Amino acid sequence: MKISVRKAVRADLQAVLDLVIELAIYEKEPDAVTATLADYQLGFDENRIQILVAEDNGRIIGIALYYLTFSTWKGKMMYLEDFVVNEAYRRTGVGELIWHELKEDCKRQNCILLKWQVLDWNDPAVKFYEKHNATIEKEWWNGKIYF
């Protein structure tokens, strides 16, 4: 296994979307992904999203999809929207490689913090983040409106 992590290119977007769908299935929301490849392409072309991909011999096996935003309390921050490793590659160190590169990219872009959500029942993910000294907030509730 020869794993490399790099910034995504436009041609990677179908594989990225496929992993997002795999994540939705894992999170018990198989029908929740309604974004299309065209949506991903537009977000990528407009620099709204940034993506790291992990590859094993040219096959994309993991991703981190994130974007710049702003915290009114802290300043420039990065929001991690999705972080997923293909099931066959979990617990092999692929997530560690992506996580390390993600943190380095945030630092290169002068972010004050990296923020994300994790489901309360996803013990492997919570343990992964806690192992990396993350603060898992349990006081804030999510709000959203669909248009």
Report the catalytic residues: 129
For residue 76, what are the β-bridge partners? 70
What is the Cα–Cα distance from 121 to 142, expressed in whole angstroms? 16
What is the Cα–Cα distance from 5 to 28, expressed in whole angstroms? 27
